[in-house]
Amino acid sequence: MVTDVVRESVRAGRLVVWEESARDGAQAKTLMSAAFRVRLAREQGAVFGEDGPRHVVFAAGFPAVCAEEFEAVRQVADQAEGAVSVAAVCRGTLDDVRQAVASVRGSAHARVMVVVPASEAMAGVMVHRGAREALEEGVALVRAARDLDPGVATDVCLADASRADHGLMAHFAQAMTAAGAGTVVLADTVGRQLPGEAAEMFRRVAARTDADVVLGSHLHNDLGLGLANTLQALGAGVRLVSSSWLGIAERSGMAATEQLLFLLAHDSARVSALLDPASQETDLWWTRPDLSRLPGIARMVARETGVPLTVTTPVVGTGVGTISTGTPFVHPELFQPFDPQALLGTAPGVVLTQLASARVVSAVAARLGHRLDREQARAAMGWVKSRAYATNCAVVDDDAFAAYLDGLTAPAPAAVAVPGARLREPVAVSGEGDVR
């Protein structure tokens, strides 16, 4: 029997990230090439070293979309083998399940996830029957997938779990596990839950199943609560959590992988407060994630998808580690919750804006090779502020500032004495430009 390393990890209390940027991310109007998916899977696995397959399930795509999508999933299964556990996602039909299994067959730690509606409303739309009938069919599809290839682990995603009956989901999570499901993921498909509601759902379903059932989370961000709700799931004992690089997923996305990993790994002393207080296991890692890899992967995903990293993007954004005002410049440790250079390898930077103090201006001038005295610093500060307002752009770029500094700090030309010349009185120019 092939060992299910994901199920094994979760049952040992370790965190497993179900990575959705290549799959659910496509519903955010992005498209990752097959080659990029392979690269991303390898890079994400490298965050955990040789334990990549035990910490990352990389959802490579939805093979039923088209032949090109099937081939993309197949390439990830072939070429990222050993770096992560590779999964194909499919609808709850036998044809889709066959196709998904075929796309990952033969890859070490391969998985398929079957999406099954759990609420009455979603079952009516997706499969035109009631929730109980849809869930019963889900049990049969788990058996079918296991029969197709026992070497491919089978997971189930209960769609619209946030509007489904907790007792019904618990009953069928137990039945699906008995049929061979490795994990059963509860999805807030429409991102409607508040944190307390998410916690209640996971606790109630878990309380009605035995220890053999491994629950996971897939929580969308439509109310801006995807990450908060994922933390609630962790607090309820869940250790398989879905996320996506830069948060890209359908509509408003889901928890961002880089934020989730950083939050759970950067300060181990605080993590226990986020976890199930009844649990004795607070170590989430076989291998602790290398956080310094996160910014590079995020930039890579941004380039591929066109989703920008902004000045306010947490952990990996362009504003991380930057300073533009006086007090943070003097005491930067008071104005950031972590050391970006020590944890992420993000070097601190000073940016010129209309808020710049003379100290900030002098620091940027020094970086550009100019040493300013007090008067020059005051003059340069005034120029920076005027420039920002004149251009209606907060950040004054280095090239423009360097050109200004060249004029400011250039030595004054020496006066040349002309024999017989008489000194003239200076001409006064009024504020209105007329000569007096």
The answer to whether the beta carbons of residues 64 and 337 sit under 8 Å apart is no
SS3 191: coil
Cα torsion angle, 202, 207, 208, 210, sign: positive
Provide mean pLDDT across the span 297-325. 92
Beta carbons within 8 Å of 31's beta carbon, 6+ residues apart: 305
Range with the lowest mean pLDDT among 32-36, 170-174, 196-200, 408-412?
408-412
415, pLDDT greater than 90 = no
How confident is residue 436, by pLDDT bands cut at 50, 70 and 90?
very low
Tell me the mean pLDDT in the region 30-48: 98
Q: What is the pLDDT of residues 331-374, one digit of tens each?
A: 777 778 888 889 999 888 888 999 999 999 999 999 999 999 99
Residue with tokens 């956080």: 291
Say whether pLDDT at 28 is over 50.
Answer: yes
Beta strands 153-159 and 240-243 are unpaired
Position 348 scores a pLDDT of: 85
State pLDDT tens for residues 272-302: 777 766 555 568 999 999 999 999 999 999 9
Question: What does the block give as tokens for 62?
Answer: 């939805």
Superfamily designation of domain 5-305: Aldolase class I (3.20.20.70)
Give start and end residues of each alpha helix (H) in 161-251: 166-179, 195-207, 226-235
pLDDT for residue 420: 52
In which residue ranges of the chain is CATH 3.20.20.70 found?
5-305
pLDDT of residue 190: 94
In 3-state terms, what secondary structure has residue 348?
A: coil
Neighbours of 270 (CB within 10 A): 10
- The total of other beta-carbon atoms located within 10 Å of residue 314's CB is 15
pLDDT at 322: 84
CA distance 226 to 247: 9
Q: What pLDDT digit, counting tens, does each position of 129-146 carry?
A: 999 999 999 999 999 999
pTM for this one?
Answer: 0.88
For the cut 60, the answer to whether the pLDDT of residue 430 exceeds it is no
- What band does 1 get if pLDDT is binned at 50, 70 and 90? low
How confident is the model over 80-100, as a mean pLDDT? 97
Return d(Cα 356, Cα 362) in angstroms, integer. Answer: 10
Q: From start to end of 210-330, where are the E strands?
A: 215-219, 240-243, 322-323
Q: What is the mean pLDDT of the chain?
A: 91
Sign of the dihedral through C-alpha 203, 204, 208, 213: negative
Single-letter residue type at 152: V
pLDDT at 231: 95
pLDDT confidence bin for 424, thresholds 50/70/90? very low
Check residue 418 and give its pLDDT. 52
d(CA 394, CA 353): 5
Which whole number is the average pLDDT over 390-406? 94
- Specify the pLDDT at position 278: 59
Q: Two tokens at 288?
A: 């602790």
Sign of CA dihedral 291, 284, 195, 59: positive
How many beta carbons lie within 10 A of that of residue 147, not counting itself? 10
Residue 381: name the closest of 403, 363, 407 by CA. Answer: 363
pLDDT band at 412 (very low <50, low <70, confident <90, very high): low
Q: How far apart, in whole angstroms, are the C-alpha atoms of residue 271 and residue 231?
A: 10
